[in-house]
Amino acid sequence: MAIADTSRPVVSGMPAYEGAGMDALRAWVDEIAALTKPARIHWIDGSRAENDALLREMVDEGRLIKLNPEWRPGSYLARSNPSDVARTEGRTFISSVREEDAGPTNNWAEPTAMRAELEGVFEGSMRGRTMYVVPFSMGAVGGPLSHIGVQVTDSAYAVVSINIMTRVGSAVTKLIAEGADWVRTVHSVGAPLAPGEEDVAWPCNDTKYVVHFPETLEVYSYGSGYGGNAILAKKCFALRIASVIGREQGWLAEHMLLIRVIDPKGKAYHVAAAFPSACGKTNLAMLRPTIPGWRVETLGDDIAWIRPGEDGRLHAINPEAGFFGVAPGTGESTNVTAIETLWGNTIFTNVALRPDGDVWWEGLTDEIPENLIDWQGNPWTPSSETPAAHPNSRFTVAAAQCPQIAEDWDAPQGVPLDVILFGGRRATNVPLVVEATDWAHGVFLGSTISSERTAAAEGTLGELRRDPFAMLPFCGYNMADYFAHWLSVGGKLRHDLAPRIFQVNWFRRGADGRFLWPGFGDNSRVIDWIIRRISGEIEAVDSPIGRLPHIADLNLEGIEVPQEDLEELFAIDPASWLQEADLTEEFYATFDGKVPAALQAELESLRYRLKAAQAAVAG
């Protein structure tokens, strides 16, 4: 479609609200428009009719493929540019005034220089395009734990995705008009159109930026139309910026799933869990217990905002309204709940297309289709050398469609937390489950979360990929200060009301390389033990690294796990753990002495207990 150049953008959909807040919002939009020079400005109202019109327009322009409504009603397939398929971590910056506030785990950029650099790339970046103004709320609109923002973007794909992932609409604009604080986010795919120039299905730019300004609560993203680079409400706002807000206001923005576990007596418990990628996070968020009588209701699959309540407990909400999940590996045999969620009204990105107009990806079904169109639009067969779906291909779907979503999943007040879990993917050392002795020990466990790079069959400690609290890519400030903030939040809780903290590891392997634990739905057996622990029904075994189960207390009815495997699942080798303590000390040293003294003390206490255990074995 040829686009004519215009000097003044045509404006549509602007709300009629008045007030100082609305004046500030309009002035900001005008400022961004003057820089980016769009042909049109459209204010998004969040209505179904508006969203449907955007989807139809993208189909007509070749940006989306409408899937067969018989198999996948209301659903679409997008294919990105092959150069734009994932978060751009190397081009993601924290532009704080002081470099030390970004810390060694973030890319830092000096704010004045970065603003000048961004002004250069954003200059005229939306020429020939529509700039959409998208007001959104993270959490229920007006809720006590919620926060709001506005994204301006020249990507209709981003708009329809934000519509799924957040609460979008004029109700948010009304709050801004009435004076509510809001976070400013700016996004451009970085592909201006000259007069008469033909557009492409997925515009983007080889130059990319995702920049956060924590002091002014702003995000600027340029050059990418994909995922978290374009849906700025997600990782950029809900984690990096929100973590900064939480630090100032005394709460936590966390990369955590949120579930309600209901025991056979009908008593409910609430669990938040932090897992790095490829560690079973979505599967746990949609867990179907294999123990009769137990149920799990999904509250959120990726992000939790956690605040102290007036009752002295921590309360958590899922600030998102949708799931943005990795497709490959999600199938009927691994996560039937997710598959049932995707029955329709879903935007798929970079998956394969079947001849019948439905979608497919590796792991969806055990049977591999004979003929597909791959994620780049090329014919594909099982003998093809490349995957049918990109390994980071995605689905975007409303959380409300999940068949086991909790009825009150978006309650503004959130839910009281009983348990916090930390987990990594460890072939060695880390037991199936260990309970922290207190809050400080739990923070220590969270700060040491890691996954092994080495092949599991090698059975050695190997190089560890550190991801403390599963927040390494997402913390908006120095992670040593983040550890201190966790300690501070816990220090203000009553001991008997604070959530109990546990570390889990579904991935420990034997010497022969086998997984020692069946995982998936049987992880409910670990949850069962945890619930009985916090209820005071069972005792635990003290070990140098924390409290472990009596193996006899695990509910193993209906499954067969050899006794030697159970023993290996909880085996603690002091020598290997002392090596692990050395690696933790090396990791802490990267923070130039800023790691809190309480965590350094936890490390030294661990070493003391390990050496005592080693001496006891030696006799």
Active site residues: 279
Match 């000048």 to its residue by tokens: 116
CB contact burial 477-496 (16+ within 10 A = b; e otherwise): bbbbbbbbbbbebbeeeeee
**504 φ, ψ (degrees, to nearest 5):** -125, 155
CA 371 to chain centre: 33
Alpha-carbon torsion angle 248, 249, 250, 254, nearest 10: -80
Q: What is the DSSP string of 451-491?
A: EE-S-GGG-S---EEE-GGG-TTT-SS-HHHHHHHHHHHHH
CA 192 to chain centre: 31
Amino acid at 275: F
Cβ–Cβ < 8 Å for 10, 39: yes
| DSSP-based three-state secondary structure for 535 | coil
- Collect all residues with Cβ–Cβ distance below 8 Å to 564 and sequence separation of at least 6: none
Question: What are the angstrom distances between the C-alpha of 444 and each of 222, 487, 584?
Answer: 37, 10, 10
| DSSP-based three-state secondary structure for 161 | helix
Total residues found in the chain within this entry: 619
Strands of the sheet containing 314-317, edge to edge, are 252-254, 304-308, 314-317, 415-416
Question: What are the angstrom distances between the C-alpha of 601 and each of 480, 566, 574?
Answer: 15, 31, 18
Tokens linked to 497? 């009301």
Question: What are the angstrom distances between the C-alpha of 352 and each of 56, 74, 328, 356, 601?
Answer: 21, 17, 11, 12, 51
